[in-house]
Amino acid sequence: MSRPVVAASAIEDGKVPFSWKQFLLKYNILIILLLICVVLSIYTNRFLTQENIINITRQVSINGILAIGMTVVILTGGIDLSVGSLVALSGVVTALLLRDQQMAILAVFPISLFVGLIMGSLNGYFVAYCRAAPFVVTLAMMTAARGLTYVISKGRPISPLPADFLFLGKGNLWIVPIPVIIFLLTFLLGYMLLRYFRIGRYLYAVGGNENAAIVSGINAKKVKLFAYAFSGALCGLAAVILTARVSAGLPQAGQSYELDAIAATVIGGTSLAGGRGRLWGTLVGALLLGVVNNGLDLMEITSFYQQIVKGVIILGAVLMDYKRNS
Amino acid sequence: MTDDKRLSPAPSKTAPILEMKGICKRFPGVLALDNVDFRLYPGKVHALMGENGAGKSTLMKVLAGLHTPDEGTITLSGQKIVIDAPRRAMEYGIAMIHQELNPVLEMTIAENLFLGREFIGPARFIDYRKMNREATKLLDYIGVDINPGKYMRELTVSQMQMVEIAKAVSYNANIIIMDEPTSAITTKEVDRLFEIIRLLKSENKCVIYITHKMDEIFAISDEITVFRDGRYIGTYDTDSINELELIRLMVARDLNEMFPEKTCQVGQVRLKVENLSRKGYFENVSFEVKAGEIFGLAGLIGAGRTEVVESIFGVHPPDSGRVLVDGAPIERYNPKSSIKKRMGLVTEDRKLSGLILPMNILDNIALPSLPQLSTAFGLLKVKQTAKVSTSFMESLRIKAPSHQTLVMNLSGGNQQKVILAKWMATEPSVMIFDEPTRGIDVGAKSEIYKLVVDMAARGVAIVMISSEMKEILGMCDRIMVMRQGSAVAIVERSDATQEGLLLHATGMADKSSPELLAPQAQTLKDASQAELGGRT
């Protein structure tokens, strides 16, 4: 008898009573990540070393950047399958300009981002203005952009690249790898965008209920176009890091990167139906994937098993999310 | 009016084939069916009458297994039954033809007719030859000449309706429910439908017929059951009742104290609509609304009221005509520029187009005002946004743990208040309400009425669509009645009666004697009371 009374008075006070169950449900992925870290620290002696931790963050950063763009797209209720191909395309274009046109090192950022932005905008145009299904549009882009990459590169790796450029993928600032710095800045940008800018509210609104968003005066088409363009631009950013890290523009780079980005987003609790999700979740999701891969490496489990584990984690995360929302 | 139940008890010639007793059905925030009774005799066509939301369709959905009643019993041929799924209803010989058709468009007529009960040949393959043969037989039986191999998407809406009827017949159902079957078919097909109904009758089958069209009721039905506000009013022999009496039974007569006193002065014209048309939806609609005025749009569902306001607000731009706000014509029809012109639209369906359900209260309220609540660079003024939202949450008394609560977790009434808050935050000069109190409880209703009247008092021009006659009469200064996409009348509040509006809305006004529409409602009421009394 007393429980409804508590709830009613809490509503009057404008406070929600604290409950452990709610807390555990809300932070479930973070808690699982921490638990895995504890277990790995105990069972391996190399996990909790500075070198390994930095290694994990470096490995996570590319997928992390892509997952930020993916989260923005999925928030609008869409999906972007072209991510991996756009990384390859931007990377190859940038590498060609570096090798053959002696482009200034810092110009790689605007160039690569621009390539991604244009291709992403194309995705967005077809999704928003032609009302085509995001899955199909970006699937077509995935195939076409990969083909274009092979055409431009003639199917061969683009190398050698200037040593100064390679620093962007391999170098450190003090002990922090440059890719990690770029990742964190991107995260900050994405977080600010979603939380403190009008466009952020609009992204959630369009994904949550497009009709209601339109009636509220939002140009839903523009918002969707923005989401895909943003994701495309982040592909360009990730391409710079990847190209520098492997010292070449590889036409076959980035295969199945889109799936890792989707995995990180979904593990982070973003709803594929759109309108729900937080960028923090995506960050934790990307870290979780990175830590698990690293842990399995350290425990000398072959990559075949790693894929099974990854599948189980994705499924588990989605089931937990389902439970939380029902 | 409770005596009405005994006005004309239908003589019990035989035992009823179906009896529903004490049926209650609650939806979040509303009691859709309140202790409703219903019974059906074999070989009868039984019409259900009542205003929109009176509970007719809900009761039939209970019978068809689409809703499970919270209370009450259903007896079929003397045996108590439970209908917990549409499949079960079919097993009991109950078939329903829905108002909204849902055929599988990419299948043929025959495939649709036998969906889920395909003929299986000896090799476990579907026997298409037999299926088409049986389909032809069925279509012949109801007198429709279409090739059953045609795809559903090639058919007109009325042809689909006929296929749907054939399907109901094919189940060999004893009870066939038709929910507004003539809303989309031509007069010739209506005649055809009536022939089919008579055919079914001659085979001692029952038809439950829901419609708003009076002439059809009197043309085809044997008995009429009337509902009002989710309650059973009474069952009458069709021969023993006339149109006027029926309308009286459908509309509640007491205008209770739900509606706040409206005392504000009416100012200059704020919204002017000139010859607005949208092909296939409405034609040549003109009206104007002044500051402080509440202008009602009455009519039956499908009369084109929602379409008119959606065009005014730019959700679906009109084909021709003009809309002027404060004297300035609208050039670009889209919600964004309408909001800039200080218009607001509370849409008919709050879940479909009113709220962002997975968003919190704060963000929902702020949504249309975000251009004002952010810098030119697009950076949100977080503190100001929170202040605006919380002040409206308080002044509208939205009950929630905090403004971070997701609107999907609120009750219907509170959700509706969030929508009102979000438009009030834009400080509109023209506010359009489309069914503002649909599906919310009585308490929240009267709060919303008060808010609407308060807005009018502050000089807002208000357009209000409602299918509840009470609401229209209780709130509006002037009322425009629409029927089949045209404005048929504009009535002052003082001249308006529920009966008069309903006669306009159903198209009976042309056929009825002119004094029915005249303002002598009081005398009219007395006269017909005497008439009704005389018959009992």
Q: Give the one of A197, A215, A219 whose C-beta lies nearest to B353's C-beta.
A: A215
Confidence of residue A324 (pLDDT cuts 50, 70, 90): low
Helix (H, G, I), strand (E, B) or coil at B296: strand
- Asked if B1-93+174-180+205-250 and B259-342+428-536 have one fold, the answer is yes
Would you call B368 and A216 a contact, using CB atoms and an 8 Å cutoff?
Answer: yes
Residue B152 CB coordination number (10 Å): 18
Query: By mean pLDDT, which of A247-251, B19-23, B63-67, B113-117 is the weakest?
Result: B113-117
More confident residue, A305 or B324: B324
Distance from CA of A196 to the nearest CA of B (A): 5
Q: Among all residues of chain B, which has the CA nearest to that of A12?
A: B401
Distance between start and end Cα atoms, chain B: 14
Distance from CA of B495 to the nearest CA of A (A): 35
In this structure, which CATH number among 3.40.50.300, 3.90.1150.10, 3.40.1440.60, 3.50.50.60 belongs to the domain B1-93+174-180+205-250? 3.40.50.300
In Å, how far are A133, B158, B281, B333 from B184, measured between CA atoms? 32, 6, 13, 29
Confidence of residue A208 (pLDDT cuts 50, 70, 90): very high
Domains of chain B by residue range: 1-93+174-180+205-250, 259-342+428-536, 356-426
pLDDT in tens, B306-342: 999 999 999 999 999 999 999 999 999 999 999 999 9
Confidence of residue B8 (pLDDT cuts 50, 70, 90): very low
Distance from CA of B347 to the nearest CA of A (A): 8
B534 touches chain A (CB under 8 A): no
Contact between A128 and A150 under an 8 Å Cβ cutoff? The reply is: no
DSSP string, A201-269: HHHHHHHH-HHHHHHTT--HHHHHHHHHHHHHHHHHHHHHHHHHHHTSB-TTTTTTHHHHHHHHHHHTT
Domains of chain A by residue range: 62-321
In this structure, which CATH number among 3.30.70.100, 3.40.50.300, 3.30.930.10, 3.40.1160.10 belongs to the domain B259-342+428-536? 3.40.50.300
Query: By mean pLDDT, which of A2-11, A179-188, B43-52, B464-473 is the weakest?
Result: A2-11
Confidence of residue A38 (pLDDT cuts 50, 70, 90): very high
pLDDT in tens, A53-73: 999 999 999 999 999 999 999
In whole angstroms, what is the distance from residue A256 CA to residue A117 CA?
Answer: 20
More confident residue, B527 or A154: A154
Distance from CA of B357 to the nearest CA of A (A): 7
Q: Report chain B residues whose CB lies below 8 A from the CB of A216.
A: 335, 339, 367-368, 422
Q: What's the mean per-residue pLDDT of chain B?
A: 84
Q: Among all residues of chain A, which has the CA nearest to that of B348?
A: A212
Would you call B313 and A215 a contact, using CB atoms and an 8 Å cutoff?
Answer: yes
**Pairing status of strand B223-228 against strand B231-237:** antiparallel
Query: By mean pLDDT, which of A222-231, A285-294, B184-193 is the weakest?
Result: B184-193
- Residue B387 reports pLDDT greater than 60: yes
Would you call B366 and A201 a contact, using CB atoms and an 8 Å cutoff?
Answer: yes
- Residue B1 reports pLDDT greater than 50: no
- Residue B56 reports pLDDT greater than 60: yes
- What would the mean pLDDT of B51-59 be, rounded to a whole number? 79
Q: What is the pLDDT of residue B519?
A: 39
More confident residue, B9 or A163: A163
In whole angstroms, what is the distance from residue B184 CA to residue B101 CA?
Answer: 10
- What would the mean pLDDT of B64-83 be, rounded to a whole number? 90
Q: Give the one of A10, A15, A275 whose C-beta lies nearest to B358's C-beta.
A: A275
Strands (DSSP E) contained in chain A are 172-173, 176-177
Q: What is the pLDDT of residue B441?
A: 67
Would you call A218 and B336 a contact, using CB atoms and an 8 Å cutoff?
Answer: yes
In whole angstroms, what is the distance from residue B37 CA to residue B23 CA?
Answer: 7
- Residue A255 reports pLDDT greater than 70: yes
pLDDT more than 90, % of chain A:
75
- Residue B301 reports pLDDT greater than 50: yes
B402 touches chain A (CB under 8 A): yes
Q: What is the pLDDT of residue B126?
A: 86
* Biggest distance spanned by C-alpha atoms of chain A: 78
Would you call A217 and B313 a contact, using CB atoms and an 8 Å cutoff?
Answer: no
CATH 1.10.3710 fits domain A62-321: no
pLDDT in tens, B86-130: 888 988 989 888 766 677 888 999 998 888 788 888 888 888 889
Long-range contacts of B337-342 (CB under 8 A, 24+ apart): B338/A217, B338/B312, B338/B313, B338/B314, B339/A216, B339/A217, B339/B368, B339/B426, B340/A217, B341/B430, B342/B426, B342/B427, B342/B428, B342/B429, B342/B430
Radius of gyration of chain B (CA): 25
Helix (H, G, I), strand (E, B) or coil at B2: helix
Distance from CA of B343 to the nearest CA of A (A): 10
pLDDT in tens, B500-525: 888 888 877 665 544 444 433 333 33
pLDDT in tens, A64-114: 999 999 999 999 999 999 999 999 999 999 999 999 998 888 899 999 999
pLDDT more than 70, % of chain B:
89
- Residue B468 reports pLDDT greater than 50: yes
Q: Which of B136, B141, B185, B143 is nearest to B160 (CA)?
A: B185
Q: Which of A13, A63, A55 is nearest to A286 (CA)?
A: A63
Contact between B84 and B65 under an 8 Å Cβ cutoff? The reply is: yes
Long-range contacts of B192-197 (CB under 8 A, 24+ apart): B192/B142, B192/B143, B192/B144, B192/B162, B193/B162, B193/B165, B194/B219, B194/B220, B195/B143, B196/B142, B196/B143, B196/B165, B196/B169, B197/B45
- What would the mean pLDDT of B249-254 be, rounded to a whole number? 65
- What would the mean pLDDT of A15-29 be, rounded to a whole number? 73
Would you call A205 and B356 a contact, using CB atoms and an 8 Å cutoff?
Answer: yes
Query: In terms of pTM, does the model score above 0.80?
Result: no
Q: Report chain B residues whose CB lies below 8 A from the CB of A14.
A: 401-402
Q: What's the mean per-residue pLDDT of chain A?
A: 90
Residue B491 CB coordination number (10 Å): 22
Q: Among all residues of chain B, which has the CA nearest to that of A210?
A: B353
For an interface test with A, give the residue of B356, B382, B433, B434 to mutate (most A CBs within 10 A): B356
User: Can you tell me which residue has the tokens 């963050």?
Assistant: A57
Q: Among all residues of chain A, which has the CA nearest to that of B349?
A: A212
Q: Report chain A residues whose CB lies below 8 A from the CB of B357.
A: 208-209, 275
More confident residue, B532 or B442: B442
Helix, strand, coil percent values for chain A (each to nearest 5): 75, 0, 20
Q: Give the one of A14, A209, A211 whose C-beta lies nearest to B401's C-beta.
A: A14
Would you call B352 and A199 a contact, using CB atoms and an 8 Å cutoff?
Answer: no
Q: Which of A267, A273, A275, A278 is nearest to A310 (CA)?
A: A267
Q: What is the pLDDT of residue B446?
A: 81
Contact between B505 and B300 under an 8 Å Cβ cutoff? The reply is: yes
Q: What is the pLDDT of residue B53?
A: 67
Q: Among all residues of chain B, which has the CA nearest to that of A273?
A: B358
Query: Identity (one letter) of the amino acid at A285?
Result: G
Which residues are CB-contacts of A188 (< 8 A; sequence separation ≥ 6)? none
Q: What is the pLDDT of residue A28?
A: 84
Q: Among all residues of chain A, which has the CA nearest to that of B310?
A: A215
Q: Among all residues of chain B, which has the CA nearest to that of A7?
A: B401
Q: What is the pLDDT of residue B521?
A: 37
Distance from CA of A159 to the nearest CA of B (A): 41
Q: What is the pLDDT of residue B171?
A: 83
User: Can you tell me which residue has the tokens 């609120």?
Assistant: B410
Would you call A196 and B422 a contact, using CB atoms and an 8 Å cutoff?
Answer: no
Distance from CA of A223 to the nearest CA of B (A): 13
Q: What is the pLDDT of residue B524?
A: 34
Would you call A201 and B367 a contact, using CB atoms and an 8 Å cutoff?
Answer: yes
In whole angstroms, what is the distance from residue B369 CA to residue B9 CA?
Answer: 58
Q: Report chain A residues whose CB lies below 8 A from the CB of B339.
A: 216-217
Would you call B370 and A208 a contact, using CB atoms and an 8 Å cutoff?
Answer: no
User: A118-127, B147-156, B388-397: which has the highest mean pLDDT?
Assistant: A118-127
Q: What is the pLDDT of residue A7?
A: 37
- What would the mean pLDDT of B385-392 be, rounded to a whole number? 93
